Amino acid sequence: MNILITGGAGFIGSHLTRTLLANGETVAVLDNLSTGSFENIREFVGHKRFSFAIEELNNELVLDRLASQADAIVHLAAAVGVQLVVERPTETIETNVMGTHTVLKAARRYRCRTLLASTSEVYGKGVRTPFSEEDDLLLGASSRSRWSYAASKLLDEFLGLAAYREYGLPVTITRFFNTVGPGQTGRYGMVVPRFVRQALQGEPLTVYGDGEQSRCFCHVSDTVRALEALLNRPEITAGEIYNIGSGDEITINALAQTVIDRADSASSLRHIPYSEAYAPGFEDMRRRVPNTAKIERAIGWRPTHTLEQILDDVIGYERTQLLGAVRDAHA
Ligand code: UDP
């Protein structure tokens, strides 16, 4: 299969590229390197089944050319990370909504099988956990800019489902729940790489709010396995939405302590009010747990990594990165 991955130089995109190439697929990556990086795809350069274009999503000519050569499109390019969303809301909304619009137009032209990445953020402040795909969605007030991310991804979902219903385009939507693993950057707020770096450098771990909010973390290789299986089963997954995440729930306080233990670190916890960490009036989700029965029924997928395995992987990766930086500084 020829597969176009938008956002392929990002965290999930580069892991997906590696897996698809290893399994014999041909991969083209389109990325503007805004939150992704060339480092993430450097290892694939020169591979005979890999190509990349550093371009904006809204360059319709480039997207058209790439779509014309693709059997399938995995649309991962998006403005992500709570910090980025709060700091640059206009960019978030425009990238997410217009980008998806452009991708779907090209996909329709060439009848590409399409996977659209959405997010567990769309469940918002819903209190009935675990979250199922058919649940009502409860977003906060539009005066709180965090919710613009969920609203923009929700519009993406509607656009994707509309393309399926009106034009028969085989679109599948995936809602990711806190995907983590080696290679994720902490620059845009993601908690695991931030805590691991802080622990390895002996700095206090910055826990926002009271730290009793909880999340479920899913290893990126489990996420990638789900994406590959969904790609291969359009006949049963087109027009559907799937949660992709782990059911292993942990509070952020407990996560911080586990990171400290696994990294053998002497760091402590420092609690920081949300208003200081993000912006005054910031709203967080208290709990976020996926119900993954639907994807398990459809393609037999379930996550396989424990939180401890995930953290050991990230700690190993970050240790190597830090050692590399020290070596460079002395070179
Ligand atoms: N968080 C934290 N310290 C950090 C970064 C994040 O306590 O340095 C918290 C954040 O407020 C949220 C949770 O960790 O409650 C997960 O944050 P992340 O940005 O990774 O993902 P989210 O679930 O918010 O999309």
Predicted confidence (pLDDT) per residue in 21-41, tens digit: 999 999 999 999 998 999 999
Q: Any residues with CB less than 8 A from the CB of 259 and at least 6 apart, and which?
A: 192, 195, 196, 199, 205, 265, 311, 315
Predicted confidence (pLDDT) per residue in 152-171, tens digit: 999 999 999 999 999 999 99
Predicted confidence (pLDDT) per residue in 130-148, tens digit: 999 999 999 999 988 889 9
Q: Which atom of ligand 1 is nearest to the CA of 81?
A: 19
Cα–Cα distance for residue pair 8/23, rounded to 1 Å? 17
Q: Report, as residue numbers or ranges, the catalytic residues.
A: 149
For range 215-240, the mean pLDDT: 97
Contact 8, 76 (CB under 8 A): yes
Q: Which atom of ligand 1 is nearest to the CA of 189?
A: 19
For residue 272, what pLDDT is reported? 96
Predicted confidence (pLDDT) per residue in 250-260, tens digit: 999 999 999 99
For range 40-60, the mean pLDDT: 96
Å from CA of 191 to ligand 1 middle? 5
Cα–Cα distance for residue pair 50/309, rounded to 1 Å? 30
Question: In residues, how long is the chain?
Answer: 331
Considering only CA atoms, which residue is closest to atom 20 of ligand 1?
190
Sequence-ordered alpha helix ranges (H) in 45-88 = 60-68, 82-87
For residue 163, what pLDDT is reported? 98
Cα–Cα distance for residue pair 217/246, rounded to 1 Å? 6
Considering only CA atoms, which residue is closest to atom 11 of ligand 1?
208
For residue 122, what pLDDT is reported? 96
pLDDT: is 330 or 98 the higher one? 98
Q: Which atom of ligand 1 is nearest to the CA of 278?
A: 11
Task: Tell me the pLDDT of the chain averaged across its residues.
Answer: 95
Does residue 81 surpass a pLDDT of 80? no
Q: How confident is the model at residue 242 (pLDDT cuts 50, 70, 90)?
A: very high
Instruction: State percent of the chain over pLDDT 90.
Output: 85
Cα–Cα distance for residue pair 5/118, rounded to 1 Å? 15
Cα–Cα distance for residue pair 168/165, rounded to 1 Å? 6
